[in-house]
Chains A and B, each alone.
Chain A
Amino acid sequence: MGQTITEKILARHSGRDEVRPGDIVMCRVDLAMANDVTAPAAADAFARMDVATVWDRSKIALVASHFAPAKDIASANLMTRMRSFALEHDIEHLFEVGRGGIEHILLPEEALTLPGDVVIGADSHSCTYGALGCFSTGVGSTDLAAVMATGEIWLRVPESLRVVYSGAPPPWIVGKDLILSVIAAIGDDGARYMAMEHTGDTLGYLSMDSRLTLTNMAIEAGAKSGIIAPDQTTFDYVSSRQAAVGRHRDWPTLASDSDAAYASEVRIDAASLEPMVARPSLPSRAVPVGEIEPVRVDQVFIGSCTNARIEDLRIAAHVLGDERIAPHVRLMVIPATQRVWQQANAEGLLDLFAGAGASVSTPTCGACLGAHMGVLGPDEVCVSTSNRNYVGRMGHPSAQVYLANPAVAMASAVAGAVAHPAEIRPDAPNLVPELVVG
């Protein structure tokens, strides 16, 4: 019997010819990541492990993202603890404010996550990197400390869930709508412990930006990882990023065998999709935007590791055009990384947003997790391009969060209520997916 791409990667990293779902294997890790929330506890656990130093200073990335720029003295202390650990162990990849951004968009830009890798991140959205064809999963701080100490992690080889997308996506449909459709179909734990493998001819229409959204939200269905086998889009993206940052490493081209075994399969007819909106307070409560009841909106957030790449900002700008933000709406636009910010600035997008009455900020995870930069008050309603609409996620427990793609989010900001982008702009944008800034 054949193997899935996930099984092949885990076999190669555990010195075996093949592995099967349920096997527990010790895997070699290619990159370990932590952020300002998870790195301090990881540093503490590392100190208790009684090892002299980290296994490989070039394979650890520490990113100031969640409470960055420091929102108060306590969060400044977290970043100090992360920075001290980085200095003590001479960590090569420490990304400070102004030179980084949200890790899940930053590390692919930096060519630090490559196809075929095993990537372990102390953040649940570490499944994002799987869009490049690597095995990538989230863990807590102590697990991450163990990786930093030994270069290895124990993993239970996951069953794979195959998602098959068919057809050309209609106008306005991007990765966000596809993954919300999947989560609505299988539920919030429908892929629990599994590798969610995205396949089908629809992927050929998706930019790397859109694909990263697909794998980003694997965790919202409980999956261990999300993955897309490398193709020409992957090759072009990885090559251009390696050239841009001058960081080169060979990588294998792996794919699932035609007779690989899957625990289950989900089919999504992409050609018939409408933009999707997830009602509060679970991502699985996603329905076509046309089915959403009239909802007056207080805040719109375009940002997060899910939808704050350059493609997302271009889509939002296209919808906005020369309209203005509705007077009662606060629009927060937070580009994901320093590069995305610079690119959007060079294209005039940030000026466009600001001129229309939006707040445009420096990269941070902040608003997505109700940490800072746009925390919601009691009973406020927000349309967000992020990934979670749980109770209290973005602020007060009574606040209501609707998840949507950037076009729906911007249309809602202009309309002042949840809206289909075609209500604001009849034509969908022609997407140019490449990131130009080096």
Chain B
Amino acid sequence: MFRMILWKEWKENLWKLLFCGVVSAVFTIMLFRIRIIPDVSNCLVISFIQMFVVPIVYSLDIFSGEMSNRTIYLLFKIPVPRWMIFFSKFIVSAFGIVVIFLMSSILMEIMAQGREAPILYLSGINMLFGAAALLLFTWFCPFGCQSRSEAGSLAIMFSVFIGWAIVLVWALSCNVAWAARMVPYSFILALDKDFNLVEGGITQIPLFILALVIACYRYVSIRRYL
């Protein structure tokens, strides 16, 4: 049954993968061909935009779509535990985000051909941004899983972006290292040699699980549609 739900989510969200994939590919090819700015800057610009746009595209209707289309009544009547429904949505979105970043990082390496930056350097940057994007999307889930409209989801996603940005600015300005490591954006700080990527990763894993557990609990406990 889980496979069927997974398949349903995959079919419903395939256009997001196509959209983000095509747009990322087109802009990567274009910017790396015209080369007005250096390859590393191109990579940073593309990755930075991807980090915000890809989670937004996935978050817009992943949960709220079922409610605004009123299909949630049908979905909740299927004899499947609700946590499976939640995880099918999350897994499909997370897979899509990973594939998009993986594809764009490979494309960047192909386009740059190591002419200005060492091989795998650009893809490394892009994947760090990808990890941040995945974490941001994960943090959207606890707050957005009960959202009823696209506008609500959008507002929640922006709140997550801004909220973590405020935490990051505070942590960096007050030199609170442990707080800086908690922020999803901290993966980008790994570009700086002073930041320990392993420590950051270790801090992020429990937070990632915590966010998922809370999101799952909130999704399971939706009452108003029963």
Q: Do A and B come from one complex?
A: no
Interface of B toward A, CB cutoff 8 Å? none
Interface of A toward B, CB cutoff 8 Å? none
